Structure 1
Amino acid sequence: MNTFAVVQAVVIGLLVLGSAVYAFGKLLPGVSTRVRAGASASLNKPWRASWQRSLGRWLQPKQATGSCGDGCGSCGSCGPTPPKQARPDVQPLEFRPRQR
C-alpha cells in the first residue's frame, strides 16, 4: 500500500468523523451539550496539562459558562420576565354559516 492511499484514507476518515460529529450536534443538541460539558469538566482540572485544560475550555458549551447577559437565567440577574401581551396584528377567526 503506497503512502498516497494511506493519506487519502486518513483524510476521508477525518472528514467522515467531522461530519458525524456535526450531525450529532445538530440532530441531538441536548445530548451533545451534555457530552461536551462532561468532557470539558473532566479535562479542565488543575492537575491536567495546559493543553488539556485549554482543550477543555474550548469544548465547554456556551450554555455552561454561566456568564451574565447570556440569557440563561441561572444567576437570577436577568430579572423577572415581562408578561406576554396580546399581539395587535392577530385577529380572531370568525365562522359564519354559508349563504344560500
Structure 2
Amino acid sequence: MSTSLLVQYAVIGVVVLASVLIVFRKLAPKLTNRWLAAASIRFSRPERAGWVRALGRQLQPKQATGNCSDGCSTCGACGPKRPAAAQTDAVPLEFRLRQ
C-alpha cells in the first residue's frame, strides 16, 4: 500500500467520522450532551495535565440560558408555536360566479 493511498484513506475516515458525529449530535442531542458532560468531568480532574483539563473545559456542553428565545424547550414555558397561517390576519377566499 502506497503512502498516498494511506493518507487518502485517513482523510476519508476523518470526514466520515465527523459526518457521523454531526448527524448523531443532531438526532440525539440529550444523549450526546450526557456523553460530553461525562468526558468533560473525566478530563477536568486536577491530576490531569493542563492541556487535558483545557480539553475538558472545551467539551462541556452549553447550558441553557433560560431565555425563551434560545429554543431549548427545557422548561416548557415557551409552549407550542402557532402555525404560520394562524399568525397572519388571513382573509377567507370568496368565489363569485361570473355574470
Tell me the TM-score normalised to structure 1 length. Answer: 0.64
Partner SS for 1:8: helix
1:53 matched residue in structure 2: 53
Q: Deviations over 1:1-48 (max 9, x none)?
A: 111000000000000110111111000000010000000011011110
Unaligned runs of 5+ in 2: 68-76, 80-86, 89-99
1:12 matched residue in structure 2: 12
Give the RMSD, CA atoms, in angstroms.
Answer: 2.5
Whichever residue aligns with residue 20 of structure 1, its letter is V
Whichever residue aligns with residue 60 of structure 2, its letter is Q
- Following TM superposition, where does structure 1 have runs of at least 4 consecutive aligned residues deviating by more than 6 angstroms? none
Unaligned runs of 5+ in 1: 73-81, 91-100
Q: CA deviation at 1:71?
A: 1.4
**Percent of aligned positions with the same letter in both sequences?**
45
Matched ranges for 1:39-78 at <5 A: 39-63=39-63, 70-71=65-66
| Count of equivalent residues | 72
